[in-house]
Copies of this chain bind each other. A is one copy, B any other.
Amino acid sequence: MQRDWQQMLQATIPLSAAMQVGIVYGADGRVELTAPLAPNVNDKGTGFGGSLATLATLAGWVEVRRQLDGIAPDVQADIVIQRGETSYLHPVTAAFSAQVDALDADELGRFAKLFIRRGVARMPVAVQVLCGGVKCAEFRGEYVASRLV
């Protein structure tokens, strides 16, 4: 199951439309989120920190949703972010993207087991924000998936 993430995000989260979030589908099934600079610029003409953090937040959310689609495809669930931390390393000077690091297999196994058994599970996700091949920000998020009954 591969969703139309761009349509899904832009239809449900207006800020993702304002940011002009796009999707690149990777060969391994993971997706990369992209954004142009213009709607995401700051007072210095570089990428606004709030936009970088938001793109990373969305990328982590999409990855947890994507994993959950594999673990429990017929189960309705909400995924919410519980904590997010962004470190800003370099200014973003052009279009940028958010790429999720491959999830840790043990963490993922634990997440799947807990979600199936209890209907609630937490997943940590690491995301890199890249611009022109340079890592401009690092993000770590914790998401909680809850089965809807």
Contact = CB atoms under 8 A, between A and B. Distances in A.
A39 interface: yes
Interface in A18-75: 18-19, 38-44, 48-51, 53-54, 57-58
A51 to B, nearest CB: 6
Given A83-B85, A85-B83, A13 B54 contact: no
Contacts of A57: 49-50, 53
Contacts of A85: 83-86
Nearest to A140: B85
A88 B78 contact: no
Contact of A42 (B12, B44, B49, B91): B12
